[in-house]
Structure 1
Amino acid sequence: MYEIVERKEIAENIILNRIKAPDIAKKAKPGQFVLIRAVDTGERIPLTISSSDEKNGLITIIYMITGKSTAIFSGLKKGEFFLDVIGPLGMPTEIKKVKKVICVGGGTGIAVLYPIAKGFNNNGSRVDVILGARSENLLILKDEMEAISTELFVCTDDGSVGRKGFVTDALKDELEKEPPDIVVAIGPVKMMKSVSELTKQYGVKTLVSLNPIMIDGTGMCGCCRVSIGGETKFACVDGPEFDGHQVNFDELQMRLGAYREKERIEYNDYLHKIKATQE
């Protein structure tokens, strides 16, 4: 059992949990993830560790409520427990000092990007950060990112904060001015695909973090398979980070949508049951 020591909503339907997990906090590195389950009848979901505090034995996860499992997670209060927290899993990010890195984050992918950008900042690299969200009420970790970046650019679809438009608009401007040594892009599949297509035109190495359907997290089930440069890889053990120019994003998007209708039905049934208990 893993105690929740902090629970707060940091943006609309986006929840931050700090969890007591000393063994994981001791070993966790940027880019790694945990598999989390709330109840014994629930599913295990992969969530990347947004930060770890070895001294106090804490890890931080950030997620958006998008279905039944994350809705169950969000209902857990401070002092309550997750049944399973397994990790750290996956390969950590290779963070080598470079002259300049551009970190591009969208949605809750910003939470995944934060420890990576912080790692580059800590080793003396110039870190420019581009954050994207549909609107200001869905933007997370802006202040934290600003504190560790040389320059910060914010883009929103509706222009409610920062530049109106997409992260690729701001990225293109930066690529035209001074191409970086590497771009790290983490967010929705469509965003990572667009970023990778853009950086390929400029010959800039691009790293993306993939979050496919996952069950065991050890490479045994094969559910998290992705196509990288025409070869099959498992995101849980070979990733979750890969060369964005080699990822088959269309196949990834298709696989992610395989159970969307069933997930929608389960989520609506769950919300209906919750509402019935409150009446």
Structure 2
Amino acid sequence: MLKQLQGYSTHWAAGVALSALIGLTAAPASAQTLSLAGVRDSSLPQNLYDTGTIFTPGYYDQVQFLNGTGVAAASTINGSARAQSDYGVNRVEAASFAPVDDELLRQTSIGGPFADAFSVWADRFVVQGGTGVGTLSVSAIVSGQFGAQPGGFGFYDLMVVDSGDAAADARAVAAILRDESGPDTLLATSVLSLAQEVPAPGFTTDVEALTPGAAFGRVLAGQVTFTYGRPFYLVSVLGASANDFGSLSAFNSAHFGITAPTGAAIVSDAGVNYAAAVPEPSTALMALVACLGLAGWRSRRSA
């Protein structure tokens, strides 16, 4: 399907290569949001595809990018895309309104027209109220809907940067946002990840393949190991792409949450209280027991 993804992790990195355009410095703010939406009305020439960055002149016919919480949007006769980022929430959607115009390019690079949307937020955290090493829970509710035709792709990735070297971590986050490769970016580790697509007939995909009209996303949960009092970064990315009359709507996604150990407090540079997106297993079990008890009580009352 979407050859422009070049492997979904590579493509999202290209999608957040915004520093040269929005004035990010080598040492960015420790918390920021970025949104990008782009549409192209035809297939992409091989030489532009080979450059590996979506900011090559001519890559998109229309593109908009924003830092802050505004909605980035792009729309042409052949497609549309929009994205919005806020701390703890990523929102994207993309749709293609025209068939691929070059089957050879579909197999070798980007078969267009196509539309892309990317939502990114990054924040720096520190856990207080203890000593030594601890573990906290992170979760994300990723949800959306693929269209009735093949050609939709979506992914989510939550990364942690925590090497113990504050300057190196800041450089790593800056490099990720600039779409640079090198030793700094190797400090980022994926904690939560998901990639799904609805491929065109006959197209082989290396991610989870779904059928047209399928729901996108799932609940993701994991853990982050931290050192009390030592800052670390989390970077959250949600992306949507479409061609072949495909579409993905995930504009009420992805909702992130984080839970500290008992007695500890999490402080973020953005000043956001990231409530747990997914209940802890013990909490969920208690809720289930309570619901079952209530159902039994109602049953006895009606008998």
Tell whether the structures are fold-level matches, with TM greater than 0.5.
no
Higher strand proportion, which one?
2
TM-score (norm 2): 0.28
Higher helix proportion, which one?
1
TM-score (norm 1): 0.30
The structure, 1 or 2, with the larger RCO (C-alpha pairs under 8 Å, 6+ apart) is: 2
Bigger Rg, which one: 2
